[in-house]
Amino acid sequence: MDAPFRTSWLAVTGAVRSTAFLSCFVGIFQGAICLHRKVASQDHKLVYWFAGGFAALSVLLEKKGRRGELGLYVLPRAGESLWYILVNRRVLPDIKNAEVALFCACMGGMMYYLEHEPDTMSPFLRSLIRRFLASRISNPGPPSNRNPSYNHLQTLDAIKKPNLPNQEPESQSSENYDLESVPGL
């Protein structure tokens, strides 16, 4: 790290900015709803829409480059809230572990875009997925190498097996297997 003080300062200011966004978002929404309930005698649905729209303006506190990433943070929460609202109103059935299926669908969409349209994702998100999944899929090569089984084999070859100290060289099998001679393969 060339400039640790500058890097630390940027990290602290980024954290303060993100905290200010989340605090303002929640504070504005809760404040508008509480103020309306103190002043008015009846609750109106339209107030919630206005409070949400007004609270959404707090995203302007963030840098333009981070707004898309914040959208990725907020969108699943909104989807989960919508799911619970629809289940409570009996519009959708209460399915056990439905949030897992929703997560799988969202992750599948992200992996599709990572594989077929990587330029649509921010470099931060690409590096984050690459760090956690660590496969060739997150760093696609030329179109000829986009065979999923080839990518999987490349990932398996990249894993280094530990060398156990108590293994002797004679105990390792040097037999070669011919998979084409096995019936059914």
Domain coordinates in residue numbering, the chain: 9-62
Render pLDDT for 102-111 as a digit per residue (tens, 0 to 9). 888 878 887 8
**What is the per-residue pLDDT for 137?**
52
**What is the per-residue pLDDT for 135?**
55
Long-range contacts of 120-125 (CB under 8 A, 24+ apart): 122/65, 122/68, 122/69, 124/69, 125/69, 125/72
Which ranges of 40-147 does DSSP label H, i.e. alpha helix? 45-56, 64-88, 98-116, 123-133
Is the separation of the CB atoms in 59 and 67 below 8 Å? yes
Using 50, 70 and 90 to split pLDDT, how confident is the model at 163?
A: low
Closest CA to 74 of 31, 113, 22: 22
